[in-house]
Each structure stands twice: as structure tokens, then as C-alpha cells.
Amino acid sequence: MNKCVYPGSFDPITCGHLDVITRAAAMFDDLTVAVLVNKNKQSSFTVERRMDFIRRSTAHLNGVSVDYFSGLLADYMEERGANIIIRGLRAISDFEYEYQMAAMNSKLAKNVETIFLMTDIANSFLSSSMVNELASFGGNICGLVPDEIVKDVLSKYGR
């Protein structure tokens, strides 16, 4: 059985992320959404909060679990006994970076494959950074993040 990991910062999870998770969950029985803890990057939400957002947003999906990791993805994949990395692509501009990462992960973990899923075209412009900026200015983020977390994201910015 294939064990898949969809890694990312998910700061916060967006509808684009949820689109990729939903489609990957339909393809694989065991999908872990793994929140990256990057000590070199200032996150808008704690790892616990991001994991809660993902759990609430994916509660309707079978076979999806949520975890976190720091360090190398290849090491995490080995620890989990996982062999497939799911990566979402918004536009062709994402591909070059993601391809380099896939090549590096393949070098570090020979038994790991990376599968790229294009997000729905309606989400092709969307990023967590954009959501945070919009929310900080009081903009409408409905339809950009899952309905389950709209109020939580807005409350961070006093909205």
C-alpha cells in the first residue's frame, strides 16, 4: 500500500490546498498532510493552530491524517514509511522549484516518488501569504480558505 505525504506550511490552509488534498485522498487510502515547522520562517499561525485548521477542513475526507515535521522531508518520509510525496502546482512558475525539490528528494530517498497535482484553475492565484495580507487589511477571505476557518483567520487580525 502506498503511503502519501502532502507537505507544506499551510499558514493557513487555503482552498487551493484543500483542492489538492481532496483529489489526493480520492487517489490514495493513506494521506498525511504534514505541516512543516521551519524555524527560519516567521509563521502567522502556530503549528498546532495550522494542524487544527487542516483537521477541521478535512474532517469529511476518509484516510486523511495530519502531522507535523521539521528537518528534511526525506527523513520524515522514511520515519513514516511513506513512499509518495504529493505537491500542488498553481502555475508553471511553481514547476521549476518543485521539480528541483523532487529531484533532491529522489536523491536522498531512492524509494520516494513525487506526484504533482495542478490545483483547480479557480485557485491558481491563491497563496497563504495573500490570504494573510488580505485578512490583515479586513478583506473578504470567504472562498479563499475553507469555510470552517474563515472566522479564525479573521480573528487573528482583529476582524
Assess if residue 146 is contained within a domain: no
Domain assignment present for residue 64? The answer is: yes
The verdict on whether omega for the bond into residue 12 sits within 30 degrees of 0, i.e. cis, is yes
pLDDT of 75 reads: 96
Backbone dihedral angles phi then psi of residue 87, each to the nearest 5 degrees = -130, 135
Answer yes or no: is 148 within a domain: no
Q: Is 41 a residue of the active site?
A: yes
Beta carbons of 4 and 85 less than 8 angstroms apart: yes
Predicted local distance difference test score (pLDDT) of residue 61: 98
Q: How far is 62 from 72, CA to CA, in rounded Å? A: 27
The yes-or-no answer on residue 23 being catalytic is no
Please tell me the total count of domains within the chain: 1
Q: What is the pLDDT of residues 117-126, one digit of tens each?
A: 999 999 999 9
2, 33, 17, 40: which is closest to 119 by C-alpha? 17
Residues 71-91 have a mean pLDDT of 95
In tens, the pLDDT along 19-37 reads: 999 999 999 999 999 999 9
CB 69 within 8 A of CB 41: no
Tell me the CATH number at 103. Answer: 3.40.50.620
* Choice among 39, 41, 110, 151 that is catalytic: 41
Find out whether 94 and 119 touch, Cβ atoms under 8 Å. no
Q: What is the pLDDT at residue 119?
A: 92
Domain that residue 58 falls in? 3-124
Structure confidence at residue 159 (pLDDT): 73
Cα Rg, the chain, nearest whole Å: 15
73, part of any domain = yes
The per-residue pLDDT for 113 is 96
- 70 in active site: no
For residue 93, indicate whether it is catalytic.
Answer: no
pLDDT-based confidence at residue 41 (cuts at 50, 70, 90): confident
pLDDT at residue number 131: 97
Asked if the model's pLDDT at residue 91 lies above 90, the reply is no
- Inside any domain, residue 119: yes
Residue 39 has pLDDT above 90, yes or no: no
Q: Does residue 144 belong to any structural domain of this protein?
A: no
pLDDT number for residue 155: 95
Mean pLDDT, residues 91-95: 85
Residues 6+ apart with CB under 8 A from 35: 7, 8, 9, 10, 47, 50, 51, 54, 66, 67, 68, 69
Classify residue 141: in a domain, yes or no.
no
| Residue 155 lies inside a defined structural domain of this protein | no
Confidence label for 149 from pLDDT (cuts 50, 70 and 90): very high
